[in-house]
Amino acid sequence: MSFFHAMENILAGFPRHGKINSTAGKNPARLFKFVVLNSSFLIAGLAPLAQAQLGPWPIQTKQTSFEATLAKREGDILWVERKAADGRPAPQIGVPVGDLVQIGVPRPAVFAAAEKLRAAPGATDAQFAAAHAALDKLVFQLKPYRDLPGIPANEAMLLKGRLYDAKGLWRESSRLYEDVLSKAAGTASATNAQILAGIAYAKGQEWQFAVEYLGGIPLPEEDEELLSNLLFALGDAYFALGNYDNALLSYLPLAVFYPYVYDNEPRALGAALGCYAELKEWEPLYRSIQEIQKNYPNAPAAQTTTEFLEKYKQELIDAGQFVDAAKVTSADAPVAPAGVAAAPAAPPIPAATEAPAAETPAPAETNAPAKTTATETAPQE
């Protein structure tokens, strides 16, 4: 970026008056004159920005630790500026990038603000625009150092993407995720970028891309929101592609292992209804309907159960279940749909296949109540 363009970006944050406002950004000569005449004002305004963006930060190398300000990057050499004992700047020194262990950049305050804004239901477009502008400035400052350990440029780009996601701008967010995925391969940021890109592709109904990105990726157990969004997106993609078995294996772990966060249980059971219907698995379909109507009568999924009862009433009757479109009755209905305990996760998702192994005896017990219910209900009729 040229000097004048850089100054124009910086000046966008300062108040302007008179002719400066209409002509300075378009005329480099006038802009330069304005900068020179107001240098003291600009230096005062730029100093906090430079101080916050580029240090001084603790730097740890393989040989030593010290505090310094980042000066510039020249290939595999990072030039830093340390302060002398009396506080005055010392000559710059070059640090081989391969010797860096960590640069202790504190978490920028804009990150917390952007996270809070992303989850705020009443956030305005102006607030989103301001957050994007702040993140853009941060990325512009740190992007030359994005591959250095501790530099949060990639994290800032992921946050920008999640702000786009909050507005349903899936293409915009996926471009950012792809950039991080290609430039930061092998890092935690790249793993998160792959998950977020897969979710964005699913939301944008690019189902095959969603499966390619999310199928087989380790589950982010430490982030239940991201994990929930991942499995719902993967299940939706499998369902849209007609792979109903793998769709079930994506939805059901949410109801079994993560039921109490983000309304996972009613949402997952509701999503599973379509899979059971497509697979003509009428007993688990009926039991899932019972579970939703019993424990989540006010959830959106309850309306879905009514629709399924009306649409598949004859199939459920033919399968030997007693169905009343106005009232569903059953004695000793199981807490979870049949087969849930034996369906930990889709085969390509390794993190979810280990935990439920110890609980696999459950299916034998799950089938028993179904027979008992049918036996006990008949005399009551």
Instruction: Please report which confidence band the pLDDT of residue 322 belongs to, taking 50, 70 and 90 as the band edges.
Output: low
- Taking all residues of the chain, what is their mean pLDDT, rounded to a whole number? 77
Tell me the CA distances in angstroms from 260 to 178, 242, 263, 264, 354, one per residue in order. Answer: 32, 28, 6, 6, 21
* β partners of residue 69: 81
Q: Which residue has the higher pLDDT, 345 or 82?
A: 82
Co-location of 102 and 113 in the same domain: no
Question: What whole-number distance in Å separates Cα of residue 187 and Cα of residue 145?
Answer: 15
- The reply to whether 166 falls in a domain is yes
Residue 132 has pLDDT above 50, yes or no: yes
Contacts of 215 (CB under 8 A, 6+ apart): 234, 346, 348, 349
Residue 268 has pLDDT above 90, yes or no: yes
Which pLDDT does position 380 carry in this prediction?
40
What is the distance, to the nearest Å, from the Cα of residue 184 to the centroid of all Cα atoms in its chain?
17
Contacts of 232 (CB under 8 A, 6+ apart): 250, 251, 254, 267, 268, 271
Classify residue 160 by burial, with Cβ atoms within 10 Å: 0-12, 13-18, 19+. Answer: buried
Co-location of 276 and 144 in the same domain: yes
Co-location of 120 and 86 in the same domain: no
Co-location of 95 and 126 in the same domain: no
Q: Which residue has the higher pLDDT, 34 or 71?
A: 71
- The reply to whether 196 falls in a domain is yes
Which pLDDT does position 228 carry in this prediction?
96
> How many structural domains comprise the chain?
2
DSSP letter assigned to residue 82: E
Co-location of 224 and 99 in the same domain: no
Which pLDDT does position 191 carry in this prediction?
96
Task: Give me the domain span that covers residue 84.
Answer: 56-106
Which pLDDT does position 182 carry in this prediction?
95
Token pair for 187? 């890092």
Residue 8 has pLDDT above 70, yes or no: no
Q: Tell me, what CATH number does 142's domain have?
A: 1.25.40.10
Task: Kindly report, residue by residue over 10-68, the tens digit of the pLDDT.
Answer: 334 433 333 333 334 444 444 333 333 343 333 333 333 333 448 899 999 999 999 99
H-helix segments, 85-152: 109-118, 125-142
Asked if 325 contacts 313 with a C-beta cutoff of 8 angstroms, the reply is yes
Question: What whole-number distance in Å separates Cα of residue 182 and Cα of residue 206?
Answer: 20
Name the amino acid, one letter, at 300: P
Co-location of 76 and 150 in the same domain: no
Co-location of 278 and 345 in the same domain: yes
- The reply to whether 204 falls in a domain is yes
Angle at CA of residue 7, ends 6 and 9, nearest 5° = 65
For residues 340-350, average pLDDT: 35
Q: For 106, phi and psi rounded to 5 degrees?
A: -65, 150
Which pLDDT does position 69 carry in this prediction?
92
- The reply to whether 10 falls in a domain is no
Radius of gyration of the chain (CA): 29
Q: Which residue has the higher pLDDT, 347 or 132?
A: 132
Residue in the structure block whose two tokens are 């950004």: 25
Which pLDDT does position 321 carry in this prediction?
52
